[in-house]
Structure 1
Amino acid sequence: MEYPKRFANLPVATWPRLRGLLDAVQPGGDPINMTIGDPKHAMPPFLAEAMTAQMAGFGSYPNNDGAPALLDAISRWLARRYGVTVTANEIMSLNGTREGLYNASMALCPEVKNGQRPVILTPNPFYQVYAVAALSVGAEPVYLPATADTGHLPDFDAVPADVLDRTAIAYICSPANPQGAVATEDYWRNLIALAEKHDFKIFADECYSEIYRGRAPVGALQVAQAMGADPERVVIFHSLSKRSNLAGLRSGFCASGPKNIAAIRALRAYAGAPLPGPIQAVSALVWDDEDHVTASRALYAEKFDIADRILGHVPGYTSPEAGFFLWLPVPDGEQAALTLWAKTGVRTLPGAYLSRDVSGFNPGAGFIRVALCGPKSDVERGLTRLRDTVYQ
């Protein structure tokens, strides 16, 4: 039996790869998991009661595009947060943003761009669904290094013009996973101008936008509307997973121009799984509440202060602007993660597992990613063990 070859060269996925590295080794202390970005702060206090009130809705098929109450709540949130005007026909609810980040490529990437195979640009390191989406639509994935030299965001100006002319989609994550870098207004303006010039779409993964220190990150749609750019130029993706500590709810949305959203909705009508009705109803309430978001952001700020105190002296340490990860320099990410687990029980993620080798260079190989999602006591104990093991 023949199987498709388009995924044959995929590396082992991140989490099976990590289990293969660490699970055969006994932890050297009580385990502290600092790998996955799984928020552990309190959920919104009204959630349980609100969900109970909606239980009967599980007996009905849900709205494919998003219930009007949910789309209205998202529209209000976008207006409060970014000062943008987005109508209901420019939003679609998602079963978490991974679904949307994948299916938006399926719906919007053309088979041919300027008579050639299309290109999908991806930061490197990156959220792995970007690459799988590119392969699924037959595009050529082009990985752009996001290193200290580029401010931990891809340098789109360095992409040759002939590649930009073949580009159909450019993925970008801001605040960045894993580095926590934030795209400035000038950065967005430059990228949007490039997209207008070379006629490609920007997929802005903004799932970490509400976890920041200091100033709230500017958004892609915010800048695009201010520029008067084509409303179909940018597709933004947001989620309740990080913002509201509801990773298991699988609730997010994408927003763009009405033509893009119509195409994404049409594909969902054939091949997607809409968000269950009760979850849509509860999500509307969550998007309308900011108190729990403010409280959670304050907790992350305290944990980053702990990180700065413990690791501030480490050469190359950078305190991130946003998100909840540390991107820590080490000689070898795999070896550091293995040593740390074997000696202390602290579980971290090698940076190479989030990156691709390009011309013999993997921009994540000299890093480990550390998630600050657990209680402050675990963060302090884990980072102290890490410092005393990796940086002594």
Structure 2
Amino acid sequence: MKIHEFQAKRLLTDYGLAVPEGAVAITAREAGEIAGRLGHRPVMVKAQIHAGGRKRAGAVRRAESPAEAEAAAAALIGRTVVTAQTGPAGATVRRVLVEAVVPAARELHLALIIDSSSGELVLIGSARGGEDIEERVSSGDVPLARVGLGTGREPRAEAVSAFVTGLGLAGAAHASGCRLVDGLRRAFVDRDASLIEINPLAVTAAGELVGLDVKMVLDDNALFRHGDLAALRDEDETSLAELQAQRHQLNYIELGGDIGMVANGAGLGLATLDMVVAASGRPANFMDVRTTATSLDIAHGFRLLLDRPETKAILINVHGGGMQPCDTIAEGLGIAMRRTGRVLPLVVRLAGNNAEFARSRFRNFGCAIIECPDMWSAATKAVALARQDARRGA
């Protein structure tokens, strides 16, 4: 779950992150009043949306006075901002963060992420942060330092100290950098985060470290442990379909293609998506059925796919485990098809617990499935069927 910049800053100040003085406004007048309370100094007026690239899109503006801050907020609130991360539909600005400008002698980049291959918490950073960091790293213009932190429950002080030295921090700034990294590590574990990124992290002339922009993503699957964090979800920035899927124990992301996909496991779902793309297909979605999902929850997920006119075929890749047998998936599909009445080509790959029983459940529900023995044949078959359906509809 993504949270807004201002929310991430509030959370991380409890772990030692210094941030610019400021507040959130939902009207232009409020923005001007906040700027006035900050005194006669420049402020930044920053659109609060779940996307990077805001400055390039004109959604981060400098104001020299309260009147300019009010005008900047008036130009942003209610506006649809399009960045590389929002997609062509963009995101509507409903609030702005008004902050005092902090002069930076240097700008660093600092982030904590999970290494998907090892499952290890990894600290990455650069002595040259700021705008367009992704492009500059990709081009090789900006090198990234990296150090593993294991599970994140141990400080690994020596490794962190060497990392901070590599960022060019010395003396009091070095000590502050080590404390900051340790605080972020604790926040990552305590709050079940999947990403914390500070860019830029300003180094002031006095050697202080201040987080000018913060991005934080929380693990949706851990929100049952954090009622306070669950309340931070901005439903205006979440599609209705994805929000409903969350409530039905489904991890669901719309992708816009024509092949609906269902898998029970995030890794299995991603592998299925990759194979469809490798077969020159266009996935309509990512869907991971959680182990806690009932057949009625799964039926809701299938309805999301069946209700989309763009969906031309459905690919079901299921490996039954102890908590989610294959027949539960089959029952969910049968319920959804009876409720919608829509018939689509159904390509199925089954393995594991209750696979044979699932086949009989498909027959009982009248689901004419096309079963494939492995993932690749299932992916290629689904792509071929989606193309045939598209040609018939052309």
| Structure with more of its chain in strand, by fraction | 2
Q: Please, what TM-score do these two structures have when normalized by structure 1? A: 0.26
**Which has the greater radius of gyration?**
2
| Structure with more of its chain in helix, by fraction | 1
